[in-house]
Amino acid sequence: MNIKATFLYSFITKINIYFAIIFTIILSSFGIYNYNILKYSMLEKLDIQAENVTKRLSESLLEPIWKLDKEIYINIMESELSNESISRITLLSTEGKLVAALGVNDAGETIELNEDDIVKYFPYTYTKTKVLEYDIYGQVQNLGEIILYVSDEHIQLQLQQNIKRQIIQIIFLDILVVIFQIIMLTQIIGTPLKKINSALLYIADGGGDLRRRLSDNSRNELGILSKTFNKFVSGLQVIIKKAIGYSQELQVIS
């Protein structure tokens, strides 16, 4: 049997393959669980951040909008776009018309948008809307609404990187475990088995020298196998001696 066939049919190889599969399944299960926990945590944190931004805008924009101070409310909107999860912010009038809209382009620059730009650019995952109500001497005035466009793109990128890291870790750990397992199984099982096999081949191919015994005196399964074989050979040796004795007696009689 050649080396390739020996490797393929070796039970040490099979043990390593089965163990690697089981180990990979276990690590993958933990990885999927951790991925889902991380994803839920990050998306929950994102939603809380978006809610806080919406709340801040709904409070800080009231006075500038009431005073029609465009420069101030544009600056306020621009400051909130520093958050990477916010792709754009839109301010609408009470009639639903566009008052102002800001977004961040691919170069990371904040730009003012018109209605065509809003349709064409700045993908988002979901929106947060807040009606702007200004309390003036006990009378609530509707000043329009603010729409926050939230994107989880950066979270998805982080999650993808996390998956890649986990895959690399699983592959590395699989290789490491298989190497250690090959070394241990070879030392514990492979080497003693080779000795037993060599002794058996010597007995089988060496003219039936039944005086030879297996020398594995360990208390494990291989030691028990060696002792059992030694008993078998001893019994066989006794039978052969008796047979030789009977044969000699028959020759004398004849």
Render each residue's pLDDT in the chain as its tens digit; 254 residues: 555 545 555 777 788 888 888 989 999 999 999 999 999 999 999 999 999 999 999 999 999 998 889 999 999 999 998 888 888 899 999 888 889 888 887 777 788 887 776 666 667 888 999 999 988 887 888 999 999 999 898 899 999 999 999 999 999 998 998 888 888 888 877 777 777 777 777 766 655 666 666 666 667 677 777 778 778 777 877 787 777 777 776 676 76
Between CA 34 and CA 41, with CA 40 as vertex, the angle to 5 degrees is 85
Calpha distance 170→172 (Å, rounded): 5
Strand-by-strand arrangement of the 139-150 sheet: 110-112, 98-104, 86-92, 139-150, 126-136
Greatest alpha-carbon pair distance for the chain in Å reads: 140
229: left (phi over 0), alpha (psi -120 to 50) or beta: alpha
The answer to whether the predicted template modeling score (pTM) of the entire model surpasses 0.85 is no
**The two structure tokens encoding residue 233:** 């050979």
Specify the residue for token string 């792709």. Answer: 87
CA-CA-CA-CA torsion for 203, 204, 206, 209, nearest 10 degrees? 40
**The two structure tokens encoding residue 130:** 């807040």
Calpha distance 11→8 (Å, rounded): 8
Half-sphere exposure for 142 (CA within 13 Å, toward CB): 9
Q: Which amino acid is at 16?
A: N
